[in-house]
Each structure stands twice: as C-alpha cells, then as structure tokens.
C-alpha cells in the first residue's frame, strides 16, 4: 500500500526541477495511495492534481489548496463528497467510477461558486431515479454534468420538480445505505476467514521436515522441488477460483483484489529466494585436492609463458570501469583464483609458481588485470637463461681456453711500467729470437746422412 511522501512528490515534479513548494501541476495516479495527506502543506500553489486509479477512501487535506482548479479522483473508493469548501478556485471535479451513494452530499459543492464541470458517472448514485435533475437543481452554477451540457430549460424543469425528486433521492439513499452496511459485514467476515487461513498456512510452512542446509543436498533439492510444484499447482487453482468467483463492486472488493495481487507477488518472491538458496555451491577444488578451471564471470583471458623472465603472465579482461575493490586475487603454487563481484575465476597453471613473488596490476587504459607469477624451477637472468644440465659440459670445454687466456695475459704489456715503447729493446728481442731459431736445425745428427754438407750461405728452413 502506497503513501504520499515528500520523495514521491519530488520524483513526480521533474518538470519543475524537483521543487515542490512552487509546484502547479502534480500527477500521482496508479500509486496505490490509500489516504490524502501532506499535499495541502507542501504544495500550496497547486492548480491541477491527478489522483485517479488509487485506493483513496475519503476526500481530506485539500481545503488549503485555494488555487486548485482541477481535481481528478476517478477510480477510487470515495463514498461521500466532502471537505472541498476551501478549494475556492475549483472549476472541474472528476469523481468517475467511485462508490458515492449519498447523492445529497453534493450540497457541499454549493460553496464552490466557480465549479462548472462535474463527473459522477459510474457511481451508485448515478443509477438513482431523478439523479440528473437533482444535481442540476442543487448546483445551479454547474454548466456540464458527466460531459453533457446543462440547458436552461432542463434546469427550469428540475427546479420545478425538485421537492418530489428530493424525496425520491432520500428514499433510494436509505435503501442503498442498508445494502452497504450488509456488504461491509460480509466483507469483514471474509477478511477474518482469509487471515485465519493464512496463519494456518504459515504454521504449516514452519513445520517442514526438510531444510535446505541438510547433509543430503540432493534429497533436499528433490523435496524442495516437489514442494514448490505442489504450491504452484495450489496457487494456480486458488487464482483461477478467485478471478472466476462473482463479487460485488465495492471498496472492500477492490482492496481484496489488491491484497490478492500482493500475495501473489510475495509468493513469487519467496519461490525465487528458495531457488537461490537451493542452488548448490560452486565446486572449485575436488575431494582429491585437484583444482578445476572455472570462469563464472565469463571474462576473456590469455596466459603467456615469458621465457625471457621465467614467469607466467595472466591477462584477464576485467570490466573497464569496475571498481578495483570488487576484485580479489589469490595466487597459489598450482593455480590462480580471481573473484570478480563474488563470481570466481580459477585457472590451473602448467608449472609451479612462487605466490610470494607474484604481482597483480590493472591497466590504466584497458582496465585489464595483469598478474605476473615467477616460476619455481628456474634461474632468472637478464638476457640468456642457462640450464643446470649444460653447465658441466660448458665448464669442461672452457678448461683449455682458460690456459690460453693465461698465456695471453703474460704477453700483455703493463702500461704502468712503460708508457713509451723502447725501440732498442724491441730490436734485441728480435735478435734473440733469430738466434734461437738458427740453433734448432743443429739438433739433427750428421752421422745418419754422410753426404750432408753444411753451407752457411744457405738460409735455414723455418
């Protein structure tokens, strides 16, 4: 059931920049409002007020609206015209399809001297004999009644027959009031029975032997589905019976219809909540301890093996404008889990990683989440990672080269000792070298070859 609140009025005052004190036109139709309140205090400058298709049972709290020109109260539960004397500027009043049975209550509209149009069609009083003549004779300034113009001859005739018509109207009013009292008693009786039945149904629901949190989850699901199906079938039968049951058009029947629709809506919400509760939890790790690949958020992702830095890089396409506080990252040695708005994303890694050395960052341009996870079984180097198996072979090959490098180091000149090359010493080294080379052929014995002749003019073979 709705009520007139300041927030409701502001939401319907967008055409006036949500300012309510200077509001001239307000529409509050189809809001299930039961009572008129606060409008005469907050909106004193109103000229047009739409309140059709609500559940208002009494005209009240509008007497301070001095500037009000048009009041629409069609399709409500009003049974009597009252409390409109203060609306001095009222020119049009719409009370179509209400429950006005006291036609004599229109005499209160005689104070509204500017009233020109009145709509009373669809009310019980409109079925009275002499209804139109009584209204025309009572409200002599009225020009239009139920959309039909009042002619001068019609008003003269109504005034001539007014005493007889007034007596007829009073008798019909009394008969209607007696019927109305019986209808009210019957409606109250039905309402008490419905409340009693609802209390019994609630107690039955509270004694259900199965619960969603039982150990045997599958059995609990089957029982819950069976109960839901039974309840749906029962509700459909009750609904069919309700809408096909003949009933009188009274304020109580309108309220009963609204309560029935509200009950259906609440039952539907309860069923949806039960379905949500019955839904089994998401399995991320099996009983054997094996992690599963899960993508509940349905996000695009890519996993790269960066051999250069010996690490895995996970690029997760998170929503660009989503707040980072809604993301939770959990890196484990064998898998990585990212929770996005309560929905888990889990990916099993091809190799073991170091959770302590991992890092997670978001891109400032795309909003993607980038997680870097270093591997465990590797040596991180700048450019050329080497394996342990090839280390021994390389060391064995480098042994002769190390000896050569040592010999080469001996040939290097120390710049601290000699800053300028010594030409004399270079020549001496050459002489010394030539003498050593000439002495080598003397090692060959001359006894083995008797024809050998040593000619000093012939240069030695190198």
Half-sphere exposure of 269 (CA within 13 A, CB side): 6
CA gap 391, 403 in Å, rounded:
19
pLDDT higher than threshold 50 for residue 171: yes
> What pLDDT digit, counting tens, does each position of 180-218 carry?
888 888 878 877 887 777 676 666 555 544 444 444 454
CA gap 329, 360 in Å, rounded:
8
> What pLDDT digit, counting tens, does each position of 377-407 carry?
754 443 444 444 444 444 544 545 555 444 4
pTM > 0.85: no
Classify residue 341 as left (phi > 0), alpha (psi -120 to 50) or beta.
left
Q: Measuring CA to CA, how many Å separate 459 from each of 435, 454, 456? A: 13, 11, 7
In 3D, which of 62, 42, 41 has the Cα closest to residue 51?
62
CA gap 98, 282 in Å, rounded:
55
Binned at pLDDT 50, 70 and 90, residue 162 comes out as very high
């Amino acid at each position: 059931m709705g009520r007139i609140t300041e927030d409701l009025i502001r939401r319907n005052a967008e055409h006036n920049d949500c300012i309510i004190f200077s509001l001239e036109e307000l529409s509050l139709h189809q809001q299930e409002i039961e009572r008129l309140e606060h409008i005469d205090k907050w909106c004193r400058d109103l000229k047009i007020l739409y309140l059709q298709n609500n559940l208002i049972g009494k005209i009240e709290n509008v007497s301070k609206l001095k500037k009000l020109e048009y009041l629409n109260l069609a399709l409500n539960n009003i049974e009597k015209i009252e409390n409109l004397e203060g609306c001095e500027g009222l020119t049009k009043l719409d009370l179509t399809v209400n429950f006005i049975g006291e036609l004599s209550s229109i005499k209160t509209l005689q104070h509204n001297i500017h009233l020109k149009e009145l709509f009373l069609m669809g009310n019980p009083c409109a079925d009275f004999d002499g209804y139109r003549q009584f209204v025309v004779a009572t409200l002599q300034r009225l020009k239009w009644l139920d959309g039909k113009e009042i002619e001068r001859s019609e008003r003269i005739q109504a005034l001539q027959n007014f005493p007889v018509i007034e007596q007829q109207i009073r008798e019909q009013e009394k008969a209607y009031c007696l019927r109305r009292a019986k209808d009210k008693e019957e409606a109250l009786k039905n309402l008490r029975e419905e409340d009693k039945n609802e209390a019994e149904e609630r107690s039955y629901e509270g004694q259900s032997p199965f619960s969603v949190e039982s150990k045997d989850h599958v059995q609990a699901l089957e029982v819950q589905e069976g109960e839901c199906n039974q309840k749906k079938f029962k509700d459909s039968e009750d609904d069919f019976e309700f809408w096909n049951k003949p009933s009188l058009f009274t304020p109580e029947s309108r309220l009963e219809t609204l309560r029935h629709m509200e009950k259906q809506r609440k039952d539907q919400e309860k069923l949806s909540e039960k379905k949500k509760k019955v839904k089994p939890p998401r399995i991320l790790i099996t009983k054997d301890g094996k992690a599963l690949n899960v993508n509940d958020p349905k996000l695009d992702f890519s996993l790269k093996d960066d051999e250069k830095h010996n690490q895995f890089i996970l690029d997760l396409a998170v929503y660009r404008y989503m707040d980072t506080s809604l993301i939770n990252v959990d890196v484990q040695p064998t898998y990585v889990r990212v929770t996005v708005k309560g929905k888990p994303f889990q990916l099993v890694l091809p190799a073991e990683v170091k959770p302590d050395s991992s890092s997670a960052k978001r891109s400032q341009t795309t909003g993607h989440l980038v997680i870097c996870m270093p591997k465990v079984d590797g040596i991180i180097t700048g450019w050329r990672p080497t394996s342990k198996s090839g280390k021994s072979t390389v060391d064995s090959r480098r042994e002769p080269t190390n000896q050569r490098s040592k010999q080469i180091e001996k040939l290097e000149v120390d710049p601290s000792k000699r800053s300028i090359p010594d030409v004399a010493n270079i020549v001496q080294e050459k002489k010394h070298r030539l003498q050593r080379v000439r002495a080598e052929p003397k090692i060959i014995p001359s006894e083995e070859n008797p024809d050998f002749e040593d000619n000093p003019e012939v240069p030695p073979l190198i």
